[in-house]
Amino acid sequence: MGVKLRSSGYQRKLFREKSLPGFVLSIGNLTAGGTGKTPAVAMLAKWARSEGYRVAILSRGYGGESPSGVLEVSDDKTIKANPQETGDEAYLLARKLPGIPIVISRKRLSAGLFALENFGTNFFLLDDGFQHLALKRDLNLVLIDASIPFGNGRLLPWGPLREPVGRLVRAHGIVLTRFVGRSENYRTLSFLSAQFPSIPVYKADHLPVKLVFPQLNEVREPGFLAGKRVLGFAGIARPDALKETLIKLGANVVWFKGYRDHYPFKRDEIQALIHMKDNLNAEYLITSEKDWVRMIPFCPTCSDLAYLAIEFELISNQAAFYGMIRRAANRKI
């Protein structure tokens, strides 16, 4: 009822949307995490910069300890905040996107105005913005996991949904992530096409691109893991996704530990995992890039610890997808 009342308030103009002087593209979820939003935001930010737009990412900074107001995570030159202040997602984006400003504020309007004043931004990328109805957006893209799109179909806290499935009518485009050709993926595609025929649906996947050993300052191809005994762990929305990727790469996963999303690892916990790796005669300890960001403050001393970097890739209708964004952006800029 609370979700319905809030949405109705904006629809009836009881609550006022505020606008930014530029193009606002929202990347969001219908569920609480697990769709691969962070690599999708990185992909779109790189594309927008390559098109000549002055892009900035506006984030809430989930999990960070930044005070109220505006926090400049990075400008067009350097990273200006640490992972504790920003949260793992914003800091990871800053590492992956040098030269693209990232600004945090619970009020995304304030973050946008800061980016406008300091960087001349005209392309505002709203990270996790589908439910942030206070800021008007020109294009709403919603990411949905193709295999488990709506969980048990119930709203938080009894399920993963942030709002009812019918609220997808606000979307201008839907991206099915982790689309690998399974039957359940096509069932999700058929359902969305039938229920929302006017909304284009695109397919995407998450591709492992490199294996990074921070202590050794070495980078290997993901295929390096083939035949290797590894111990894996992850504190992301879908930790099993990392395990599945490791298995697809041919790794012999001798043990895997999943933690809750944004889990704040402690030094002794990582040391315990290192000891377990040795006891199980595993060769490497593998985690996700987002998890590594949360370990940077104490930087575990283990040459066999590596993180797997993932990139987001559209696997259907790329020209139509980017054409939709370009046309919408050029109407505003």
In a shared domain, residues 160 and 27: yes
pLDDT of the residue at 84: 87
Tens of pLDDT, residue by residue over 182-240, are 888 999 999 999 999 999 999 999 999 999 999 999 999 999 999 999 999 999 989 99
In a shared domain, residues 56 and 177: yes
Asked whether residue 93 is domain-assigned, the answer is yes
Asked whether residue 2 is domain-assigned, the answer is no
Asked whether residue 101 is domain-assigned, the answer is yes
Asked whether residue 83 is domain-assigned, the answer is yes
In a shared domain, residues 79 and 48: yes
In a shared domain, residues 261 and 194: no
Asked whether residue 1 is domain-assigned, the answer is no
Asked whether residue 328 is domain-assigned, the answer is yes
Asked whether residue 105 is domain-assigned, the answer is yes
In a shared domain, residues 157 and 173: yes
In a shared domain, residues 177 and 297: no
pLDDT of the residue at 115: 97
In a shared domain, residues 75 and 176: yes
Supply the CATH number for residue 225's domain. Answer: 3.40.50
State how many domains the chain has: 2
| High-pLDDT (> 70) share of the chain, % | 94
Q: What is the pTM of this model?
A: 0.92
13-17, 75-79, 233-237, range with the lowest pLDDT: 13-17
Supply the CATH number for residue 96's domain. Answer: 3.40.50.300
Tens of pLDDT, residue by residue over 137-173, are 999 999 999 989 998 989 988 999 999 999 999 999 9
pLDDT bin (cut points 50, 70, 90) of residue 63 is low
In a shared domain, residues 213 and 290: yes
Q: What is the average pLDDT score of the chain?
A: 92
Asked whether residue 49 is domain-assigned, the answer is yes
In a shared domain, residues 18 and 57: yes
Query: Please, is 25 exposed, middle or buried when counting C-beta atoms within 10 Å of its C-beta (0-12, 13-18, 19+)?
Result: buried
Domain, as residue range, for 220: 209-310
In a shared domain, residues 183 and 255: no
How far apart CA 148 and CA 281 sit, in angstroms, is 34
179 pLDDT above the threshold of 90: yes
In a shared domain, residues 261 and 278: yes
In a shared domain, residues 128 and 246: no
